[in-house]
Amino acid sequence: MPTISKEDYLKSIYTLNSIAEKTVTTSTLASKLEISNAAISEMSKKLSDLGLISYEKYKGVELTKEGEIIALKILRRHRLWELFMIKALQLNWDEVHDEAEKLEHHTSDFLIDKIDEYLGFPKFDPHGAPIPSKSGVLPKMPKLISLNDCKVGRKYQVLRVVDSPSDLVGYFSRIGLNINSEIEIIEKLSFDNSVIILLNNVNHSLSEKVVDKIFVKEEEVI
Ligand SMILES: [Zn+2]
């Protein structure tokens, strides 16, 4: 059974919470982090004692202000590293996440602030995720909707994709789906919840699992 670091745990609560906008349950965390419920309970108790989360058995976990500051710091490092690897090292979209997962735990504030400056204080990472500023402030984001909730016949702009697993991100690249891509919903198949989209004049059928990982904004109708 792999162990999980305090930083990964806080980061996961933050990201799960920002996607679902509700209290994160320990079982959701256990499945995301691929560790046992018992390990999650133990970690929750420890972080609650440190004042980083509030935790009630059977109810779920929430970050305290101090816990959120740490989570945002980790996300800042992760997202700036991803952008740096693409911009400065010319790595591909699908090569950067796994590296950033490691680097996010071993980068000083001094170095990450230098990278931020080098990149011109970017607001979004290569997958469309907002980058917290040095003082922990997130840039304003338009209201995003999941591709799941899109309507047939309408056009949307892709503004964010989930950055892992890397083979999924590689698939997005291969079909030409990028941040800012314009897509049209051609059909939604109720029997398996897949969605057929039109992208660069080609139809693509996306499975429910893939659809879940794409977030868009409706194009303004003129
Ligand atoms: Zn990533």
DSSP characters for the chain?
-----HHHHHHHHHHHHHHH-SPBPHHHHHHHHT--HHHHHHHHHHHHHTTSEEEETTTEEEE-HHHHHHHHHHHHHHHHHHHHHHHTT---GGGHHHHHHHHTTS--HHHHHHHHHHTTS-SB-TTSPBPP-TTSPPPP-PPPEEGGG--TT-EEEEEEE---SHHHHHHHHHHT--TT-EEEEEEEETTTTEEEEEETTEEEEE-HHHHTTEEEEEPPP-
pLDDT score of 137? 94
Q: How far is the CA of 159 from the centre of ligand 1 (A)?
A: 15
Determine the distance separating the centroid of ligand 1 and the alpha carbon of 127, expressed in angstroms.
8
Specify the pLDDT at position 40.
86
pLDDT at 39: 87
Low-confidence ranges of the chain (pLDDT < 50): 1
**Which pLDDT score, from 0 to 100, does residue 1 have?**
43
Ligand 1 geometric centre to CA of 186 (Å)? 30
Cα 167 to ligand 1 centre (Å): 13
